[in-house]
Structure 1
Amino acid sequence: MKKRKTEKLLEILSGQPVIPVLRIDRIADAVPLTRALAKGGLPAVEITLRTPDALDAIRLVVDEVPEAIVGAGTILTGKDFAGAAVAGAQFIVSPGTTQELLDAATRSEVPFLPGAVTPSEVMAMRDEGYEILKFFPAEQAGGAAFLKSLASPLPSVRFCPTGGISPKNAADYLSLPNVVCIGGSWVAPDAELAAGNWQAVEELAREAAKLARR
Protein backbone atom coordinates (compact mmCIF):
# COMPACT_ATOMS: atom_id res chain seq x y z
CA MET A 1 0.00 0.00 0.00
CA LYS A 2 2.88 2.38 0.71
CA LYS A 3 4.12 2.14 -2.87
CA ARG A 4 0.64 2.94 -4.15
CA LYS A 5 0.42 5.94 -1.84
CA THR A 6 3.84 7.15 -2.99
CA GLU A 7 2.75 6.93 -6.61
CA LYS A 8 -0.42 8.87 -5.83
CA LEU A 9 1.52 11.55 -3.97
CA LEU A 10 4.04 11.87 -6.79
CA GLU A 11 1.22 12.25 -9.29
CA ILE A 12 -0.21 15.15 -7.24
CA LEU A 13 3.07 16.94 -6.58
CA SER A 14 4.48 16.53 -10.06
CA GLY A 15 1.34 17.97 -11.61
CA GLN A 16 2.37 21.58 -10.91
CA PRO A 17 5.61 23.35 -10.00
CA VAL A 18 4.17 25.19 -6.98
CA ILE A 19 1.87 23.91 -4.24
CA PRO A 20 0.11 26.90 -2.62
CA VAL A 21 0.48 26.79 1.17
CA LEU A 22 -2.66 28.39 2.59
CA ARG A 23 -3.69 29.80 5.93
CA ILE A 24 -7.47 30.19 6.00
CA ASP A 25 -8.39 32.87 8.53
CA ARG A 26 -11.93 33.35 7.19
CA ILE A 27 -13.90 30.27 6.25
CA ALA A 28 -15.70 32.31 3.58
CA ASP A 29 -12.40 32.68 1.68
CA ALA A 30 -11.80 28.94 1.28
CA VAL A 31 -13.94 28.26 -1.79
CA PRO A 32 -13.23 31.39 -3.87
CA LEU A 33 -9.52 31.18 -3.03
CA THR A 34 -9.07 27.59 -4.12
CA ARG A 35 -11.25 28.16 -7.18
CA ALA A 36 -9.04 31.07 -8.23
CA LEU A 37 -5.87 29.03 -7.70
CA ALA A 38 -7.25 26.09 -9.68
CA LYS A 39 -8.38 28.38 -12.49
CA GLY A 40 -4.86 29.79 -12.62
CA GLY A 41 -3.37 26.32 -12.99
CA LEU A 42 -2.67 25.31 -9.38
CA PRO A 43 -5.44 22.88 -8.38
CA ALA A 44 -3.41 21.13 -5.65
CA VAL A 45 -3.24 23.16 -2.44
CA GLU A 46 -2.09 22.65 1.13
CA ILE A 47 -4.48 24.08 3.72
CA THR A 48 -2.53 24.38 6.95
CA LEU A 49 -3.99 23.51 10.34
CA ARG A 50 -2.91 26.87 11.73
CA THR A 51 -6.38 28.31 12.26
CA PRO A 52 -9.52 27.08 14.07
CA ASP A 53 -11.45 26.80 10.80
CA ALA A 54 -8.85 24.78 8.89
CA LEU A 55 -10.63 21.41 8.98
CA ASP A 56 -13.96 23.04 8.10
CA ALA A 57 -12.21 24.79 5.21
CA ILE A 58 -10.89 21.45 3.94
CA ARG A 59 -14.37 19.92 4.11
CA LEU A 60 -15.90 22.89 2.32
CA VAL A 61 -13.37 22.88 -0.50
CA VAL A 62 -13.65 19.13 -0.96
CA ASP A 63 -17.43 19.47 -1.22
CA GLU A 64 -17.64 22.61 -3.37
CA VAL A 65 -14.48 22.76 -5.49
CA PRO A 66 -14.23 19.40 -7.27
CA GLU A 67 -11.39 20.62 -9.46
CA ALA A 68 -9.19 21.18 -6.38
CA ILE A 69 -6.82 18.60 -4.88
CA VAL A 70 -6.87 19.41 -1.19
CA GLY A 71 -4.00 18.62 1.13
CA ALA A 72 -3.74 19.26 4.86
CA GLY A 73 -0.57 20.81 6.26
CA THR A 74 0.98 21.53 9.65
CA ILE A 75 -0.08 18.07 10.82
CA LEU A 76 1.63 17.58 14.18
CA THR A 77 -0.15 14.65 15.86
CA GLY A 78 -1.96 11.45 15.09
CA LYS A 79 -5.20 13.22 16.01
CA ASP A 80 -4.44 15.93 13.44
CA PHE A 81 -3.78 13.25 10.84
CA ALA A 82 -7.03 11.41 11.53
CA GLY A 83 -9.05 14.63 11.58
CA ALA A 84 -7.62 15.77 8.26
CA ALA A 85 -8.31 12.40 6.66
CA VAL A 86 -11.91 12.43 7.87
CA ALA A 87 -12.30 15.97 6.54
CA GLY A 88 -11.40 14.67 3.09
CA ALA A 89 -7.75 15.68 2.69
CA GLN A 90 -6.21 13.96 -0.33
CA PHE A 91 -2.66 14.24 0.97
CA ILE A 92 -1.19 15.12 4.34
CA VAL A 93 1.92 17.17 5.11
CA SER A 94 3.95 17.55 8.31
CA PRO A 95 6.80 19.98 9.01
CA GLY A 96 8.75 17.21 10.72
CA THR A 97 8.19 13.56 11.56
CA THR A 98 7.42 11.59 14.72
CA GLN A 99 6.70 7.92 15.32
CA GLU A 100 3.11 8.86 16.13
CA LEU A 101 2.70 10.40 12.67
CA LEU A 102 4.34 7.44 10.97
CA ASP A 103 1.95 5.10 12.76
CA ALA A 104 -1.04 7.24 11.77
CA ALA A 105 0.14 7.26 8.16
CA THR A 106 0.49 3.48 8.15
CA ARG A 107 -3.12 3.12 9.28
CA SER A 108 -4.41 5.53 6.64
CA GLU A 109 -4.85 5.32 2.88
CA VAL A 110 -4.10 9.05 2.52
CA PRO A 111 -0.61 9.75 1.11
CA PHE A 112 1.80 11.32 3.60
CA LEU A 113 4.53 13.88 2.90
CA PRO A 114 6.71 13.82 6.04
CA GLY A 115 9.21 16.54 6.88
CA ALA A 116 12.95 15.92 7.08
CA VAL A 117 15.96 18.25 7.00
CA THR A 118 19.20 16.59 8.09
CA PRO A 119 20.86 13.69 6.25
CA SER A 120 20.07 11.45 9.22
CA GLU A 121 16.38 12.39 9.13
CA VAL A 122 16.26 11.85 5.38
CA MET A 123 17.92 8.43 5.73
CA ALA A 124 15.50 7.47 8.52
CA MET A 125 12.52 8.37 6.34
CA ARG A 126 14.01 6.46 3.43
CA ASP A 127 14.32 3.42 5.67
CA GLU A 128 10.62 3.82 6.49
CA GLY A 129 9.84 3.65 2.78
CA TYR A 130 9.34 7.36 2.08
CA GLU A 131 10.94 8.61 -1.12
CA ILE A 132 9.27 12.05 -1.25
CA LEU A 133 9.82 14.41 1.67
CA LYS A 134 9.00 17.94 2.73
CA PHE A 135 12.08 20.10 3.34
CA PHE A 136 11.14 22.81 5.85
CA PRO A 137 12.05 25.55 6.60
CA ALA A 138 13.88 25.53 3.29
CA GLU A 139 15.70 28.84 3.24
CA GLN A 140 16.57 28.80 6.93
CA ALA A 141 17.80 25.18 6.73
CA GLY A 142 20.35 25.83 3.99
CA GLY A 143 18.27 26.50 0.92
CA ALA A 144 18.81 25.20 -2.59
CA ALA A 145 22.54 24.73 -2.04
CA PHE A 146 21.89 22.34 0.85
CA LEU A 147 19.34 20.35 -1.13
CA LYS A 148 21.72 20.15 -4.07
CA SER A 149 24.35 18.61 -1.79
CA LEU A 150 21.91 15.82 -0.84
CA ALA A 151 21.23 14.79 -4.45
CA SER A 152 24.40 12.75 -4.95
CA PRO A 153 24.54 10.71 -1.69
CA LEU A 154 20.74 10.27 -1.53
CA PRO A 155 19.64 10.06 -5.18
CA SER A 156 16.44 8.10 -4.54
CA VAL A 157 14.88 10.82 -2.38
CA ARG A 158 12.99 13.80 -3.79
CA PHE A 159 11.78 16.89 -1.97
CA CYS A 160 9.08 19.51 -1.79
CA PRO A 161 10.91 22.44 -0.15
CA THR A 162 8.78 25.03 1.64
CA GLY A 163 9.61 28.09 3.71
CA GLY A 164 11.05 31.36 2.52
CA ILE A 165 10.53 30.53 -1.16
CA SER A 166 9.35 33.28 -3.47
CA PRO A 167 9.45 34.09 -7.20
CA LYS A 168 12.97 35.45 -6.60
CA ASN A 169 14.47 32.09 -5.62
CA ALA A 170 11.91 29.57 -6.93
CA ALA A 171 14.03 28.74 -9.98
CA ASP A 172 17.01 27.87 -7.75
CA TYR A 173 14.97 25.04 -6.25
CA LEU A 174 13.06 23.93 -9.32
CA SER A 175 16.31 23.48 -11.24
CA LEU A 176 17.49 20.76 -8.84
CA PRO A 177 17.16 17.11 -9.87
CA ASN A 178 15.87 16.10 -6.42
CA VAL A 179 13.07 18.70 -6.20
CA VAL A 180 9.67 17.55 -7.44
CA CYS A 181 7.89 20.84 -6.66
CA ILE A 182 8.02 23.73 -4.19
CA GLY A 183 5.55 25.02 -1.62
CA GLY A 184 4.79 28.72 -1.46
CA SER A 185 2.39 31.17 0.11
CA TRP A 186 3.16 34.11 -2.19
CA VAL A 187 0.38 33.07 -4.60
CA ALA A 188 -2.21 33.94 -1.93
CA PRO A 189 -1.05 37.23 -0.33
CA ASP A 190 -2.83 38.38 2.82
CA ALA A 191 -3.70 41.72 1.24
CA GLU A 192 -5.45 40.11 -1.73
CA LEU A 193 -7.33 37.70 0.52
CA ALA A 194 -8.46 40.53 2.77
CA ALA A 195 -9.72 42.44 -0.26
CA GLY A 196 -11.31 39.40 -1.87
CA ASN A 197 -9.27 40.07 -5.00
CA TRP A 198 -9.57 36.61 -6.50
CA GLN A 199 -8.59 37.82 -9.96
CA ALA A 200 -5.20 38.87 -8.59
CA VAL A 201 -4.79 35.45 -6.96
CA GLU A 202 -5.65 33.76 -10.24
CA GLU A 203 -3.01 35.81 -12.05
CA LEU A 204 -0.37 34.98 -9.44
CA ALA A 205 -1.28 31.30 -9.78
CA ARG A 206 -1.01 31.50 -13.56
CA GLU A 207 2.47 33.00 -13.30
CA ALA A 208 3.56 30.35 -10.78
CA ALA A 209 2.17 27.53 -12.92
CA LYS A 210 4.50 28.60 -15.73
CA LEU A 211 7.66 28.20 -13.63
CA ALA A 212 9.97 25.71 -15.28
CA ARG A 213 11.25 22.57 -13.63
CA ARG A 214 14.37 20.68 -14.59
Structure 2
Amino acid sequence: MGLQRAEVGQRLADGWAFAVVRPETPERALEIAEGCLAGGMDALEVSFTAPCAVRAIEAIVGRFGDEVLVGAGTVMDEATACMARMAGARFVVSNCLSEAVAATCNRYQLPYAPGCTSVTEAVRALELGASFIKCFPISSVYGPSLVGLFKTPTPWMPLMASGGVTLENLPEWLASGVDCCGFGGLLATGSVEAIAENARAVRAAVRAHRAAR
Protein backbone atom coordinates (compact mmCIF):
# COMPACT_ATOMS: atom_id res chain seq x y z
CA MET A 1 0.00 0.00 0.00
CA GLY A 2 2.96 2.33 0.61
CA LEU A 3 3.10 5.44 2.74
CA GLN A 4 -0.15 6.95 3.96
CA ARG A 5 -1.02 10.64 3.70
CA ALA A 6 -0.49 11.33 7.39
CA GLU A 7 2.92 9.63 7.32
CA VAL A 8 4.05 11.71 4.37
CA GLY A 9 2.93 14.96 5.96
CA GLN A 10 4.65 14.04 9.22
CA ARG A 11 7.89 13.18 7.41
CA LEU A 12 7.88 16.56 5.69
CA ALA A 13 7.30 18.34 9.00
CA ASP A 14 9.87 16.23 10.85
CA GLY A 15 12.51 16.71 8.17
CA TRP A 16 11.55 20.39 7.84
CA ALA A 17 13.73 20.97 4.76
CA PHE A 18 13.47 19.49 1.27
CA ALA A 19 15.05 20.11 -2.12
CA VAL A 20 13.15 21.72 -5.01
CA VAL A 21 14.60 20.53 -8.31
CA ARG A 22 14.11 21.16 -12.02
CA PRO A 23 16.40 18.49 -13.48
CA GLU A 24 17.52 18.50 -17.09
CA THR A 25 17.47 14.70 -17.17
CA PRO A 26 16.32 11.80 -14.97
CA GLU A 27 20.00 10.98 -14.43
CA ARG A 28 20.56 14.43 -12.96
CA ALA A 29 17.54 13.96 -10.71
CA LEU A 30 19.13 10.78 -9.38
CA GLU A 31 22.39 12.63 -8.67
CA ILE A 32 20.53 15.30 -6.72
CA ALA A 33 18.61 12.68 -4.74
CA GLU A 34 21.87 10.87 -4.00
CA GLY A 35 23.48 14.09 -2.75
CA CYS A 36 20.50 14.95 -0.56
CA LEU A 37 20.46 11.48 0.98
CA ALA A 38 24.19 11.57 1.62
CA GLY A 39 23.65 14.84 3.47
CA GLY A 40 20.83 13.45 5.60
CA MET A 41 17.89 14.92 3.68
CA ASP A 42 15.29 12.45 2.43
CA ALA A 43 12.69 14.62 0.64
CA LEU A 44 12.63 16.47 -2.66
CA GLU A 45 10.12 18.04 -5.00
CA VAL A 46 10.48 17.58 -8.77
CA SER A 47 8.95 20.54 -10.58
CA PHE A 48 6.76 19.94 -13.61
CA THR A 49 8.48 22.90 -15.24
CA ALA A 50 11.09 20.25 -16.12
CA PRO A 51 10.08 18.37 -19.30
CA CYS A 52 11.44 15.13 -17.81
CA ALA A 53 9.50 15.46 -14.54
CA VAL A 54 7.53 12.22 -14.89
CA ARG A 55 10.61 10.21 -15.85
CA ALA A 56 12.63 11.86 -13.07
CA ILE A 57 10.05 10.93 -10.42
CA GLU A 58 9.88 7.39 -11.77
CA ALA A 59 13.67 7.11 -11.70
CA ILE A 60 13.95 8.31 -8.10
CA VAL A 61 11.16 6.03 -6.90
CA GLY A 62 12.63 3.12 -8.86
CA ARG A 63 16.06 3.46 -7.29
CA PHE A 64 15.31 4.67 -3.77
CA GLY A 65 11.71 3.64 -3.06
CA ASP A 66 10.37 5.15 0.15
CA GLU A 67 13.91 5.99 1.31
CA VAL A 68 13.39 9.24 -0.59
CA LEU A 69 10.11 11.10 -0.22
CA VAL A 70 9.62 12.47 -3.73
CA GLY A 71 6.90 14.95 -4.55
CA ALA A 72 5.68 16.77 -7.65
CA GLY A 73 5.85 20.55 -7.96
CA THR A 74 4.12 23.16 -10.12
CA VAL A 75 1.06 20.91 -10.38
CA MET A 76 -1.58 23.28 -11.71
CA ASP A 77 -4.28 20.95 -13.07
CA GLU A 78 -5.93 17.60 -12.46
CA ALA A 79 -4.21 15.85 -15.38
CA THR A 80 -0.76 16.75 -14.05
CA ALA A 81 -1.75 15.63 -10.56
CA CYS A 82 -2.80 12.25 -11.95
CA MET A 83 0.44 11.90 -13.94
CA ALA A 84 2.43 12.74 -10.82
CA ARG A 85 0.58 10.15 -8.77
CA MET A 86 1.04 7.43 -11.40
CA ALA A 87 4.76 8.26 -11.58
CA GLY A 88 5.02 7.63 -7.84
CA ALA A 89 4.91 11.13 -6.31
CA ARG A 90 4.08 11.08 -2.60
CA PHE A 91 3.00 14.71 -2.28
CA VAL A 92 1.88 17.55 -4.55
CA VAL A 93 2.97 21.19 -4.49
CA SER A 94 1.70 24.02 -6.67
CA ASN A 95 2.25 27.70 -7.31
CA CYS A 96 -1.52 28.29 -7.14
CA LEU A 97 -4.70 26.93 -5.60
CA SER A 98 -6.83 24.61 -7.73
CA GLU A 99 -10.03 22.97 -6.53
CA ALA A 100 -9.59 20.22 -9.14
CA VAL A 101 -6.08 19.41 -7.91
CA ALA A 102 -7.28 19.49 -4.30
CA ALA A 103 -10.07 17.03 -5.14
CA THR A 104 -7.64 14.69 -6.92
CA CYS A 105 -5.18 14.77 -4.04
CA ASN A 106 -7.96 14.10 -1.54
CA ARG A 107 -9.26 11.24 -3.66
CA TYR A 108 -5.85 9.54 -3.75
CA GLN A 109 -4.76 10.70 -0.29
CA LEU A 110 -1.79 12.78 -1.38
CA PRO A 111 -0.73 15.74 0.77
CA TYR A 112 -1.36 18.95 -1.20
CA ALA A 113 0.45 22.27 -0.73
CA PRO A 114 -1.03 25.02 -2.94
CA GLY A 115 0.57 28.43 -3.36
CA CYS A 116 -1.42 31.12 -1.57
CA THR A 117 -0.84 34.84 -1.10
CA SER A 118 -3.57 35.84 1.36
CA VAL A 119 -5.13 34.50 4.54
CA THR A 120 -8.49 34.27 2.77
CA GLU A 121 -7.03 32.12 0.00
CA ALA A 122 -5.09 30.02 2.51
CA VAL A 123 -8.17 29.32 4.64
CA ARG A 124 -10.05 28.31 1.49
CA ALA A 125 -7.21 25.91 0.69
CA LEU A 126 -7.51 24.35 4.16
CA GLU A 127 -11.26 23.93 3.61
CA LEU A 128 -10.41 22.03 0.42
CA GLY A 129 -8.12 19.69 2.34
CA ALA A 130 -4.65 21.18 1.84
CA SER A 131 -1.99 19.66 4.11
CA PHE A 132 0.31 22.71 3.91
CA ILE A 133 -0.06 26.26 2.65
CA LYS A 134 2.82 27.15 0.35
CA CYS A 135 3.70 30.82 0.86
CA PHE A 136 4.41 31.55 -2.78
CA PRO A 137 5.69 33.85 -4.11
CA ILE A 138 5.44 35.92 -0.97
CA SER A 139 8.14 34.07 0.99
CA SER A 140 10.68 35.66 -1.36
CA VAL A 141 9.13 39.10 -0.82
CA TYR A 142 8.40 39.23 2.91
CA GLY A 143 10.86 36.69 4.26
CA PRO A 144 10.34 35.06 7.68
CA SER A 145 8.08 37.89 8.87
CA LEU A 146 5.23 36.47 6.76
CA VAL A 147 4.88 33.49 9.12
CA GLY A 148 3.56 35.69 11.91
CA LEU A 149 1.21 37.45 9.50
CA PHE A 150 -0.46 34.12 8.75
CA LYS A 151 -0.07 32.31 12.05
CA THR A 152 -1.15 35.10 14.41
CA PRO A 153 -4.81 34.94 13.31
CA THR A 154 -4.66 31.24 12.35
CA PRO A 155 -1.97 29.55 14.49
CA TRP A 156 -3.05 26.07 13.35
CA MET A 157 -2.23 26.83 9.70
CA PRO A 158 0.64 24.58 8.46
CA LEU A 159 2.96 26.77 6.38
CA MET A 160 5.51 25.79 3.74
CA ALA A 161 8.06 28.40 2.66
CA SER A 162 9.35 28.18 -0.88
CA GLY A 163 11.76 30.72 -2.27
CA GLY A 164 14.06 33.10 -0.44
CA VAL A 165 15.39 30.54 2.06
CA THR A 166 19.20 30.52 2.27
CA LEU A 167 21.87 29.27 4.65
CA GLU A 168 22.33 32.86 5.78
CA ASN A 169 18.70 33.51 6.77
CA LEU A 170 17.96 29.91 7.79
CA PRO A 171 18.09 30.70 11.55
CA GLU A 172 15.42 33.37 11.06
CA TRP A 173 13.17 30.94 9.19
CA LEU A 174 13.64 28.29 11.87
CA ALA A 175 12.78 30.81 14.60
CA SER A 176 9.70 32.01 12.69
CA GLY A 177 7.75 28.81 13.28
CA VAL A 178 7.31 27.85 9.62
CA ASP A 179 6.48 24.15 9.32
CA CYS A 180 8.74 23.19 6.39
CA CYS A 181 10.92 24.84 3.75
CA GLY A 182 11.87 24.10 0.17
CA PHE A 183 15.38 24.88 -1.04
CA GLY A 184 16.11 25.41 -4.72
CA GLY A 185 19.61 26.15 -5.99
CA LEU A 186 21.33 25.29 -2.72
CA LEU A 187 20.29 21.64 -2.98
CA ALA A 188 19.93 21.30 -6.74
CA THR A 189 23.16 22.61 -8.26
CA GLY A 190 26.74 21.42 -8.24
CA SER A 191 28.23 18.01 -7.70
CA VAL A 192 26.79 15.23 -5.58
CA GLU A 193 29.37 16.11 -2.93
CA ALA A 194 28.46 19.82 -2.96
CA ILE A 195 24.76 19.03 -2.61
CA ALA A 196 25.53 16.64 0.25
CA GLU A 197 27.61 19.31 2.00
CA ASN A 198 24.82 21.88 1.74
CA ALA A 199 22.24 19.33 2.88
CA ARG A 200 24.39 18.55 5.92
CA ALA A 201 24.62 22.26 6.75
CA VAL A 202 20.85 22.64 6.60
CA ARG A 203 20.25 19.52 8.68
CA ALA A 204 22.79 20.67 11.29
CA ALA A 205 21.01 24.04 11.60
CA VAL A 206 17.65 22.31 12.04
CA ARG A 207 19.03 19.97 14.71
CA ALA A 208 20.71 22.82 16.57
CA HIS A 209 17.53 24.87 16.57
CA ARG A 210 15.42 22.01 17.87
CA ALA A 211 17.97 21.10 20.55
CA ALA A 212 17.95 24.67 21.84
CA ARG A 213 14.18 24.86 22.26
Same-fold status (TM-score > 0.5):
yes
Does residue 40 (structure 1) correspond to residue 39 (structure 2)? The answer is yes
Amino acid at match of 1:11: Q
Give the 3-state SS of the residue equivalent to 1:42 in structure 2.
Answer: coil
TM-score by length of 2: 0.88
| C-alpha separation in 1, matches of 2:83 and 2:11 | 21
- Give the structure with the higher percent helix: 2
Q: Distance in 2 between matches of 1:93 and 1:49?
A: 10
Cα 1:68–1:23 shift into 2, 3 Å: same
* Cα distance, 1:48–1:54 mapped onto 2, change above 3 Å: same
Q: Shift of residue 141 of structure 1?
A: 4.2
* 1:91-144 CA distance string (max 9 Å, x none): 111111112212222322222222222011112122234352111124344221
C-alpha root-mean-square deviation of aligned residues, in Å? 1.8
- In structure 2, the residue matched to 1:65 is 64
Q: How many angstroms apart in 1 are the aligned matches of 2:73 and 2:135?
A: 13
Q: Give the percent of matched residue pairs that are identical in Structure 1 and Structure 2.
A: 25
**Structure 1: tracts of 5 or more residues without a match:** none
The match for 1:126 is 126
Alignment of 1:1-214 (within 5 A): 5=5, 7-66=6-65, 67-177=67-177, 179-190=178-189, 192=190, 197-212=191-206, 213=209
How many residue pairs end up in the alignment?
A: 204
Q: 1:117 to 1:155 in 2, by over 3 A?
A: same
Letter in 1 for 2:202: A
Contact 1:77 1:101 in 2 (8 A): yes
Q: Contact conserved, 1:41 with 1:209, CA < 8 A, in 2? A: yes
C-alpha distance in structure 2 between counterparts of 1:76 and 1:34, whole Å: 24
1:185 deviates by 1.1
Distance in 2 between the 1:141 and 1:121 partners?
Answer: 18
Change in Cα spacing, 1:61 to 1:72, as seen in structure 2 (3 Å) is same
Letter in 1 for 2:106: T
Q: Scaled by the length of structure 1, what TM-score is found? A: 0.88
Give the secondary structure class of the aligned counterpart of 1:210.
Answer: helix
